[in-house]
Amino acid sequence: MISETVTRYRAYLEKRRAYVHAMGLLGYDMNTVMPKGAGPIVGDTFGVLSEAMYDMVTSPEVEAMQREILAQRDEVDPAIVRTAELAMEERGRIACIPKEEYVQYTVDQTIADRVWHEAKIKSDFQMFLPHLEKLIAAKKRFAKYYRPDASVYATLLDEYEKGLNTETLDRFFTTVRERLVPVIAKIQSQPDVSFLHRHYPIAEQRIFSDYLMDVLGLDKNHCAIGETEHPFTTEFTKYDVRITTHYHENAVEASMYSVIHEGGHATYERNIGDEIARLPIGKGVSMSVHEGQSRFFENIIGRSEPFIEAIFPKMQEIFPEQLKDVDAHRFYVAVNKAEPSLIRTEADELTYSLHVMVRYELEKRLFDGDLEPKDLPAAWNRMYKDYLGVDVPDDRRGVLQDSHWASGLFGYFPSYALGSAYGAQLIKRMEQEIDVWDNVRNANLKPVVDWLTEHIYRFGCMKEPGKLMEEAFGAPFDPTYYTDYLTKKYSELYHLD
């Protein structure tokens, strides 16, 4: 009886959810509260739980249930069918890896992450190198187990964004480079942004964060905010989402845009359909779509003039001294200052994609070319000079700046650029259907969130990411929306011809 199988499968999925929850929480804790000296223990705990996950995901009994559900898909809840479909793909990627290698990788990854934190502080790439090499070697092996004949990097890309490949990305980055580099080159004089770097006490910045969460419509009963060195978002279900930020006393915009960025991720998760919330498909569908949401709120909404006009009175209330001689327009201009720089997470919208392009090119060469991990710093520094025209003074502000590789996230970076481009095409579509800007100008983001929920959020992983976005756009993806959006915005901001 298929209904009996579905009941058993749902029980299995609930068990799986619990393990994912526990492992997710261990990861969250490791990056927030855990005292650093506890690192080795948590790695071993990860090892044990990941072994249990491996056994679950690859068990013949679970496979049989999934095959039965897929064979009789017409009689089964589509959410369960979709779950089984994606689970078979996941099974394919995992079951080909020998269990010991899979478990060892989980442990190695927590070690690499810990070492990276220290190496970054010390700006010591050599310290991190052996751990990075280990992760890269494992990722290469795993990709080959799964798809012996495919390019390794294509296999990695596909994991974060199904169907994504280097042809698409090469075309995308070529468009971006050809159209944006000339705009960047035209920028001559810069606005005065010194007021952003006055003293903004952390206690007041916390109040400001709470206000921003309110504006985004994030309910504290289901979304916590914490503080970490590197801001991130995690969720265990849509009912338990956590964002973090980092306060800099002399840079009010840093935490402000971290909160809006992570808040964008959280908004996506919080608006997944309740009916799929506990299933593995009850989460954001891909990294590009996810970064698309975070960067949409951060930049397209959060760095728009109407949004700044909406929140600026509250900002002046919280920071009366610091902002007494500033108006909303000056603030808007300041938070959009565009200038080639060293740090991706601090980069402006215009030059951002060039930071991603550096990582994309390096990853391609690391996995499918002849670049050795040991040669990364030199290659990194050279590309920053070539693409952004800046000299990298040390590895802390260079190749060690991002946490992704230390967490084994290779092939993830392109999501940021692609996500940014998604946002530009989305806003065009949205503007045709709802009154975006009058609402934003009144600090009312609800129509925007509702539109995104209707077209994207509620589906979770029910659709393939490419198809989901195409349906939301009402057209195929076209990166020129992105380059047009940036060209127009920065031509106005900098009065370019």
Give me the residues that bind a second copy (CB under 8 A), please: 14-15, 17-19, 21-23, 25-26, 29, 32-38, 40-42, 44-45, 47-49, 52, 203, 219-224, 226, 236-237, 239-242, 278
SS3 117: helix
- The CB density around residue 234, as the number of other CB atoms within 10 Å, is 20
* Minimum distance from residue 74 beta carbon to a second copy (Å): 30
Distance between CA atoms of residues 493 and 199, nearest Å: 26
- The CB density around residue 383, as the number of other CB atoms within 10 Å, is 18
The conformation of residue 401, written as its DSSP 8-state character, comes to S
Burial of 496 (0-12, 13-18, 19+ CB in 10 A): middle
The conformation of residue 170, written as its DSSP 8-state character, comes to H
* Choice between 36 and 324, CB closer to a second copy: 36
* Choice between 29 and 454, CB closer to a second copy: 29
Element (H, E) at 240: strand 240-245
Q: Edge-to-edge strand order for the sheet containing 240-245?
A: 223-227, 240-245, 233-237
Distance between CA atoms of residues 106 and 26, nearest Å: 12
* Minimum distance from residue 89 beta carbon to a second copy (Å): 24
Task: Quickly tell me which residue has 């169907």 as its tokens.
Answer: 163
The partner residues of 244 in beta bridges, in order of sequence, read: 226
* Minimum distance from residue 44 beta carbon to a second copy (Å): 7
* Minimum distance from residue 113 beta carbon to a second copy (Å): 16
* Minimum distance from residue 265 beta carbon to a second copy (Å): 15
Burial of 386 (0-12, 13-18, 19+ CB in 10 A): exposed
Residue 323 CA to its chain's centroid (Å): 31
Distance between CA atoms of residues 279 and 145, nearest Å: 28
The catalytic residues are 262
Distance between CA atoms of residues 92 and 252, nearest Å: 46
Give the 3-state secondary structure percentages of the chain, helix then strand then coil, rounded to 5. 70, 5, 25
The conformation of residue 411, written as its DSSP 8-state character, comes to S
* Minimum distance from residue 215 beta carbon to a second copy (Å): 18
- End-to-end CA separation in angstroms for the chain: 70
* Choice between 75 and 219, CB closer to a second copy: 219
* Choice between 40 and 78, CB closer to a second copy: 40
* Choice between 51 and 450, CB closer to a second copy: 51
The conformation of residue 230, written as its DSSP 8-state character, comes to S
* Minimum distance from residue 22 beta carbon to a second copy (Å): 4
* Choice between 211 and 239, CB closer to a second copy: 239
* Choice between 58 and 288, CB closer to a second copy: 58
Which region holds residue 228: left if phi is over 0, alpha if psi is between -120 and 50, else beta?
Answer: beta
